[in-house]
Structure 1
Amino acid sequence: MLRVNEMNTFIGRKRIVKNVSLQVSPGDIVGLVGPNGAGKTTIMKTILGLAKFTGNISINDKEVTENNHNALSEVGALIEHPAIYPFLSGLQNLELYSHDKHDVMNIISMLQMDAYIKGKAKGYSLGMKQKLGIAIALLNHPKLIILDEPMNGLDVEATIGVRKIIKQYAEQGTAFLISSHILSELQKVMTRIVLINDGKIIVNRDIKEFNQISHQKYRLDTEKNEFSMQLLKSNSIPISKNEDYLLVKKEDIFKAQDILYKNQIHLKEMSPMNANFEQIIVSILEKQRGQHHEK
């Protein structure tokens, strides 16, 4: 659905996005993750033909250039702030962009906007404006939907509703590219993670594959934890302590068991430790920064 090949984006003479290549297939929900200023919004704007770039971008095999936006006819987008006319009602805003009245009413109902949709948009709260921006992006059954921070200003109920809608559209074959700093929300919907730092992709993985990283350490509890810790260290096994437990890397687990058994130390518990999503992202970024400083 979307192919990006060796894309470099420039603001003035400064290169903001560096050699980015990625693919999004029908039904994919790709999460664009990274620290502030990493280049996530710039990548999205470039795909929408809103920035000067080199490389190739194609949507459904149609090329996007700075001057030719025909390929974007099947793309819905919400970037930064919703493009809303304040003196029109929410309904009139939707009707401006829509080709199908039934589609409009369906989206209003899905996003639970019926109560205020006929009121002027200038009187909307941040959350109401955000919902209207999402509604505009969903109009006309797009093949690709690009959402920049879609959960901004939404309450818990609205967030759950938007999540369900994203999954529903993806099941029907719509592709999504979504950036969000609320990683826990993105984690619940995305099928692939693309981690960006300093304008470059540093991780591009299927989410199931990525989640396996979370089982990197095992928690051990023995009848003699202090002695066990010294023993394992003296056998060159990296080990740390967390509260009353010992932490051992996954690859060292069998070796650790053998050493404890030889020394007649009974193991009371051994279980995988789940690192949460944010911790994994932070540790990858820290590792990358460390490598960058070494260079």
Structure 2
Amino acid sequence: MLTVKQIDVYIGRKQIIKQVSFQVKPGEIVGLVGPNGAGKTTIMKTILGLTKFNGKITVNQQAITENHHAPLAKVGALIEHPAIYPFLTGLQNLQLYSQDPTDMRQLVTLLQMDAYINTKAKGYSLGMKQKLGIAIALLNQPDLVILDEPMNGLDVEATISIRKIIKQYAERGTAFLISSHVLSELQKVMTQVILINHGSMIVNQNVAAFNQRAQKQYQLNTVANAATTKLLQAHQLTFSKTKTGFLVPREEIFAIQDLLAAQQIHLKMLAPVQLNFEQIIVDLLERQRGREHEKTLS
């Protein structure tokens, strides 16, 4: 459905996106995650032909360029803020984009907007505007939907509703690319996770494989954590710091124990840790920062 191949994006001379490649297949819900400024929105804008880029992007095997947007005819999007005309009613906003009145009315009901859809959008709350923006993105049975922070401003009930709708559309074959800071909600719908930081892709895995990382961490604490840090760095072993010690991968436990014993550094604690989704993301980002710091020092 969507193929992004080795794209680079520059703003002036500064490179914002660096050699990013991934695919989104029909029915997949791909989560694009990363800290503020990582490049998530820029990637989405680039796919929509709103940003100059080097590399190749195709939708349904048709190339997207800055001047060729025809393949986007079956792509729905909500980027940053809903594109709503405030002095039109919600229904009039939908009619600007709708090609099928029946589909439009079904979306109004599905998103529970009947009570206010005929009032002017200027009086809408943030959550109401967000639902209208999502409705616009879902109009006309799109093949691909790109949503940037779709849960922004939604209450718990609306968030659950949107999550169900995304799953319903995906079951019909609609592909989704979604960025969100509400990782707990994104985790409940996505089938693939892409982690971006500083414009580079750190992880691109299906959710099952990604979640296996949760069982591969150990909490380590010693009588001399400062000396342990230097020792792990000197032997290029993977670790991230915690408030009380370190997180280390399971496969390196024996090597770490041997090194500590050789230096007569005694263990205070060594125990498996079950990380949640947010903790895995934080751990991966901390590891990347550690690698970048080591490169800077070298």
The one-letter amino acid paired with 1:10 is Y
Distance 1:143 1:5 in 2: 19
Change (3 A) 1:113 1:290: same
Task: Give the C-alpha shift of residue 250 in structure 1.
Answer: 4.2
Matches within 5 A, 1:155-166: 155-166=155-166
The one-letter amino acid paired with 1:196 is I
The one-letter amino acid paired with 1:38 is A
Matches within 5 A, 1:31-180: 31-180=31-180
| 3-state SS in 1 of match to 2:140 | coil
1:148-168 deviation line (CA, Å, top 9, x unaligned): 000000000000000000000
Contact kept? 1:83, 1:133, Cα under 8 Å = yes
Q: Which residue of 1 aligns with 2:235?
A: none
| 3-state SS in 1 of match to 2:8 | strand
Distance 2:65 2:249 in 1: 48
- Counting matched residue pairs gives 264
Distance 1:85 1:9 in 2: 30
Task: Give the C-alpha shift of residue 216 in structure 1.
Answer: 1.9
> Equivalent pairs: percent with the same residue?
69
The one-letter amino acid paired with 1:27 is G
Change (3 A) 1:249 1:142: closer
The one-letter amino acid paired with 2:91 is L
Q: Which residue of 2 aligns with 1:265?
A: none
| 3-state SS in 2 of match to 1:189 | coil
Distance 1:142 1:214 in 2: 35
Give the stretch that moved more between structures: 188-197 or 208-217.
208-217
Distance 1:129 1:12 in 2: 33
| 3-state SS in 2 of match to 1:210 | helix
The one-letter amino acid paired with 1:193 is V
Give the stretch that moved more between structures: 209-218 or 196-205.
209-218
The one-letter amino acid paired with 1:32 is L
| 3-state SS in 1 of match to 2:208 | helix
Instruction: Normalising by structure 1, report the TM-score.
Output: 0.83
| 3-state SS in 2 of match to 1:38 | coil
Query: Rg bigger for which structure?
Result: 1
Distance 1:97 1:217 in 2: 49
Distance 2:249 2:53 in 1: 43
Q: Which residue of 1 aligns with 2:4?
A: 4
Distance 1:87 1:205 in 2: 44
Q: Which residue of 2 aligns with 1:268?
A: none
Q: Which residue of 1 aligns with 2:203?
A: 203
Distance 1:254 1:42 in 2: 42
Task: Give the C-alpha shift of residue 249 in structure 1.
Answer: 6.2
| 3-state SS in 2 of match to 1:280 | helix
Instruction: Normalising by structure 2, report the TM-score.
Output: 0.82
Contact kept? 1:90, 1:132, Cα under 8 Å = yes
Contact kept? 1:98, 1:140, Cα under 8 Å = yes
The one-letter amino acid paired with 2:126 is L
The one-letter amino acid paired with 2:142 is P
Distance 2:248 2:116 in 1: 56
TM-align CA RMSD: 2.8
Q: Which residue of 2 aligns with 1:224?
A: none
Contact kept? 1:10, 1:51, Cα under 8 Å = no
Residues 1:275 and 2:249 are matched in the alignment = no
Q: Which residue of 2 aligns with 1:223?
A: none
Change (3 A) 1:21 1:218: closer
Change (3 A) 1:18 1:104: same
The one-letter amino acid paired with 1:101 is P
Task: Give the C-alpha shift of residue 9 in structure 1.
Answer: 1.1
Distance 2:250 2:34 in 1: 27
The one-letter amino acid paired with 2:57 is I
Distance 1:15 1:125 in 2: 37
Q: Which residue of 1 aligns with 2:237?
A: none
Structure 1, unaligned runs of 5 or more = 220-241, 256-270
Structure 2, unaligned runs of 5 or more = 220-241, 256-270
Task: Give the C-alpha shift of residue 289 in structure 1.
Answer: 0.6
